[in-house]
C-alpha cells in the first residue's frame, strides 16, 4: 500500500505562509541532490508532484503536500550545497531553523542518505541534531539502483555502523526503479499511529 491521493498545498518561504492545519507533518531531509524530491514523487506514485532537478539546489522553499487528507509530506531544500551565494544560503538556513524549531506539527523526519557512500559528516550532524531534538527519525538509503545487488548488504551495513542504528531500520529505496517504497510507507504509517496512540493516552 502507498498513498492514494496526494495534493500540492503550498510553497512557503517562512512562518507566515505555513499551511494552517492540525495534521501531522513528515519532513524529508538530506544532502542536496540526494533525491528528496524524487523520493516524494516515487512514494506518492506521481511523476511531477515535487520538482526534481539535475543540479543540486533545486528545491529552495518548503513545499507541503497533503496525503490522503490524513498527513502532510514536506519537501525542503538540501544541505551541503555550497554553490549558492552566502546570502541565499543564509536565507535557507533561517527558513529551515524557523521550521524545525517552531513548527509543532512535525511528527517524523525521514532522513535520506546516498546508498553508494558512507554518510558524510553533514549527514551525521543532521541526524544527530534530529535525534537530540527528540524527533522520530526514519532513515532511507537512496539511489540503491546504482549499487550492484551483491554489494547492497555491505553498503547498508556501512551506513548502519556510521549512524549507529540497526540495518533493519535503514530502508533502501530506488526512485527510478520504484523499489522499497511500500516498506518506508509502512514505517511512516506506524510512526504516525504511535503518535496518535500516545495522544489518546494523555
Positions touching Mg ion (CB under 5 A) are 36-37, 58-59
CB of 34 to Mg ion, least distance (A): 9
CB of 79 to ligand GTP, least distance (A): 8
Report d(CA 51, CA 173) in Å as an integer.
Answer: 18
Q: What are phi and psi of 76, to 5 degrees?
A: -130, 165
CB of 24 to ligand GTP, least distance (A): 22
The smaller minimum CB distance to ligand GTP, of residues 3 and 77, is found at: 77
Report d(CA 98, CA 127) in Å as an integer.
Answer: 18
The smaller minimum CB distance to Mg ion, of residues 91 and 152, is found at: 91
Which residue number has the CB closest to ligand GTP?
78
| Kind plus residue range of the DSSP H or E element containing 189 | helix 181-201
CB of 22 to ligand GTP, least distance (A): 27
Smallest CA-to-CA distance from 165 within 190, 140, 191, 195 is with 140
Q: What is the DSSP letter of 165?
A: S
- Label the pairing between strands 62-67 and 6-12: antiparallel
Kindly list the residues in this chain that would bind ligand GTP in the complex (CB under 6 A): 30, 32-38, 52-54, 56-59, 77-78, 142-143, 145-146, 174-176
The smaller minimum CB distance to Mg ion, of residues 36 and 136, is found at: 36
136 binds, among ligand GTP, Mg ion, none (CB under 5 to 8 A by kind): none
The smaller minimum CB distance to Mg ion, of residues 39 and 156, is found at: 39
Smallest CA-to-CA distance from 63 within 96, 23, 107 is with 96
Amino acid at each position: 500500500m502507498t498513498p492514494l491521493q496526494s495534493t500540492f498545498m503550498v510553497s512557503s518561504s517562512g512562518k507566515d505562509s505555513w499551511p494552517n492545519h492540525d495534521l501531522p507533518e513528515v519532513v524529508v531531509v538530506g544532502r542536496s541532490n540526494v533525491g528528496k524530491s524524487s523520493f516524494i514523487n516515487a512514494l506518492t506514485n506521481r511523476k511531477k508532484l515535487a520538482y526534481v532537478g539535475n543540479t543540486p539546489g533545486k528545491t529552495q522553499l518548503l513545499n507541503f503536500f497533503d496525503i490522503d487528507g490524513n498527513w502532510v509530506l514536506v519537501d525542503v531544500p538540501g544541505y551541503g550545497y555550497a554553490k549558492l551565494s552566502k546570502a541565499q544560503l543564509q536565507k535557507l538556513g533561517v527558513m529551515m531553523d524557523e521550521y524545525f524549531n517552531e513548527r509543532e506539527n512535525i511528527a517524523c523526519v525521514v532522513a535520506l542518505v546516498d546508498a553508494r557512500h558512507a554518510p558524510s559528516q553533514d549527514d551525521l550532524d543532521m541526524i544527530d541534531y534530529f535525534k537530540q531534538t527528540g524527533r522520530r527519525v526514519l532513515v532511507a538509503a537512496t539511489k540503491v539502483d546504482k549499487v550492484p545487488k551483491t554489494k547492497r548488504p555491505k553498503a547498508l551495513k556501512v551506513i548502519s555502523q556510521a549512524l549507529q542504528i540497526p540495518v533493519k531500520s535503514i530502508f533502501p529505496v530506488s526512485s527510478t526503479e520504484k523499489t522499497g517504497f511500500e516498506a518506508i510507507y509502512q514505517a511512516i504509517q506506524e510512526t504516525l499511529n504511535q503518535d496518535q496512540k500516545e495522544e489518546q493516552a494523555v
